[in-house]
Amino acid sequence: MIETGLAGKVVIVTGAASGIGKATARRLAEEGCLVASWDVKEGEAETGGLFQKVDVTNASSVEAAVAEMVSRLGRPYVLVNNAGILRDGQLVKVKDGAITGVMSDEQFDTLIAVNLKGVFQCARAVAPEMIRAGAGGVILNASSVVGLYGNFGQTNYVASKAGVIGMTKVWAREFGKYGIRVNAVAPGFIATEMLQGMPEKILETLRGRTPLGRLGQPQDIANAYVWLASDAASFVTGAVISVDGGVVTGT
């Protein structure tokens, strides 16, 4: 068994009330971490941890949560920027040769506020605490395989996830001298609540586009986060790790 070196470390997981975030918070708790679980929805604290209702689009909400967490758990060693939403739609929709719709400002701005600016605001609030502690740290950002190769009907989502990759690489350069590593995980098609409402025919198509022949599970992504946070990945920074069952090569 790999020794992760995470026992006793304080970690923050955003979007922790469900899906990948919840699985990640639980896995980190299993490693002995003190987990601050953040979500705009109601959720549960993991064993020995803390649940905080936080809106990552609101800088004051994020800053207040950091202050409370530091007072109750201590300074953070790991930040997992997992919170994200979907607002899918084509940039320009055409039917029978006629323009029938376009992506709205609300679709674009609302998603960017969560998926991109939320990552920025959380890192901006948490990184200073890591620097002050002087013990290094790890920032892990949720991108997506579509941020690498694009996807039909997801202008806003792809823009956010490609932007996350860009910020990850910048922060890896900026924070390396403080012993803070910054990496991104790019999940493929994962069986979360977001997919539960899809017809079986579409789910079968997604499986068919994945060389390993199945949808990923939230635990698959959680395991990647744990590895990247651990001492086993101590020389990994500025990387984008695809956890996708081979879907990039399968398209």
Residues marked as catalytic? 157
Could you tell me which of 127, 124, 38, 114 has the C-alpha nearest to residue 77? Answer: 127
Structure tokens at 194: 């977001």
CB 83 within 8 A of CB 21: yes
Structure tokens at 42: 């109601």
Which helix H or strand E contains 102, and what residues bound it? strand 98-102
Measured CA distances, 177 to 7, 123, 125, 208, 237 (Å): 24, 16, 18, 44, 12
In whole angstroms, give the CA distance from residue 36 to residue 41. 14
In whole angstroms, give the CA distance from residue 67 to residue 162. 30
